[in-house]
Amino acid sequence: MKSYLAAAIQMTSLPDLQKNLVQAEELIDLAVRRGAELVTLPENFPFMGEEEEKIAQAEAIGQQSEKFLKTMAMRFQVTILGGGFPVPTEGGKVYNTCLLVDPNGSEVARYEKVHLFDVNVPDGITYRESSTVKAGQDLPPVYASPELGTLGLSVCYDVRFPELYRHLSQKGADVLFVPAAFTAYTGKDHWKVLLQARAIENTCYTIAPAQTGRHYGRRQTHGHAMIVDPWGVVLADAGEEPGVAIAEINPDRLEQVRRQMPSLQHRVFL
């Protein structure tokens, strides 16, 4: 593992696949021009619209998203995380799929979101992700990159379930991905502290690309894509506008924190 720059992209995705992919490409290009070798896109990066629209277009969204990620990775010669897009499955539902692609355009890790957001948020909006999404059945994977470290996958609502990240750290993760479309209401109180907690308790870098702003109807997301170091320090925060948060992933810092706070070695209950 070497020192390198990572980018957490922040988007305002709409119910328009092509517009979203254009926006994503522009932000990937910006991140690469700023030196990023690892670029992460948020959950729902290719489409944010009504659930019925998503299901109707799911096959096209899934196919074009996968092709897009592989094309961008090869064109810019970077590793890219596509933080979440629908992939049709049996029964008319989709998997909320997170894909990691290397600079050769090869898929190196795939994760189907296991924790689905079925919540009555206090702002009056009800979310029922399970109405159109089938929960994944497998624990999230890690991908061991000689240059970028061991990378652990997750998606959005997963961040509230610390046992998932403990699994990733037990598998050797150095970097945790939390691509998200966090609601504006919950994000203002919980987003930052949850990302810091996952980073601190697992002594890992946490990279969290995010959605921001208003997407359709009353759907509004929190923004603040960020990168957090293993001590819980926020290294970069994209604020509330579309853009890119960029920070260094430094193996020396990782080693220093794990030496100073060897909590993973002191666990009693496994």
- Has 113 been annotated as catalytic? yes
pLDDT for 119 equals 95
Q: Please indicate, yes or no, whether the overall pTM of this predicted structure exceeds 0.95.
A: yes
Determine contact, residues 84/124, Cβ cutoff 8 Å: no
Produce one character per residue of 201-239: b if its CB has 16 or more CB atoms within 10 Å, e if not.
Answer: ebbbbbbbbbbbbebeeebbbbbbbbbbbbebebbbbbe
Q: How many domains does the chain have?
A: 1
Determine contact, residues 6/36, Cβ cutoff 8 Å: yes
**CA-to-CA distance for 231 and 203, rounded, in angstroms?**
7
Q: Which phi and psi angles does 32 have, rounded to 5°?
A: -65, -40
- Has 188 been annotated as catalytic? no
pLDDT for 123 equals 82
Half-sphere exposure of residue 11, counting CA atoms within 13 Å on the CB side? 35
Burial of 247: CB neighbours in 10 Å, binned 0-12, 13-18, 19+ = buried
pLDDT for 246 equals 98
SS (H, E, C) the chain: CCCEEEEEEEECCCCCHHHHHHHHHHHHHHHHHCCEEEEEECCCCCCCCCHHHHHHHHHHHHHHHHHHHHHHHHHHCCEEEEEEEEEECHHHCEEEEEEEECCCCCEEEEEECCCCCEEECCCCCEEEHHHCECCCCCCCCEEEECCCEEEECCCHHHHHCHHHHHHHHHCCCCEEECCECCEHHHHHHHHHHHHHHHHHHHCCEEEECEEEEEEECCEEEECCCEEECCCCCEEEECCCCCEEEEEEECHHHHHHHHHHCCHHHHCCCC
Q: How many CB atoms lie within 10 A of CB 24?
A: 24
- Has 67 been annotated as catalytic? no
Average pLDDT by consecutive 10-residue portion of the chain (270 residues)? 98 98 98 98 97 95 98 98 96 96 98 97 89 97 98 98 98 98 96 98 98 94 98 98 98 98 92
Domain that holds residue 257: 4-266
Taking only the tens place, the pLDDT of each residue in 162-194 is: 999 999 999 999 999 999 999 999 999 999 999
Measuring CA to CA, how many Å separate 110 from each of 35, 235, 238? 25, 27, 26
What the block records as the tokens of 175 is 């970097």
pLDDT for 104 equals 98
Taking only the tens place, the pLDDT of each residue in 67-100 is: 999 999 999 999 999 999 999 998 899 999 999 9
Determine contact, residues 88/59, Cβ cutoff 8 Å: yes
pLDDT for 16 equals 97
- Of 70, 113, 134, 192, the active-site residue reads 113
Report the CATH number that the domain containing residue 66 is assigned in CATH: 3.60.110.10
Half-sphere exposure of residue 150, counting CA atoms within 13 Å on the CB side? 14
- Of 37, 156, 192, 204, the active-site residue reads 156
- Of 37, 43, 66, 112, the active-site residue reads 43
pLDDT for 239 equals 98
**CA-to-CA distance for 47 and 21, rounded, in angstroms?**
9
pLDDT for 270 equals 77
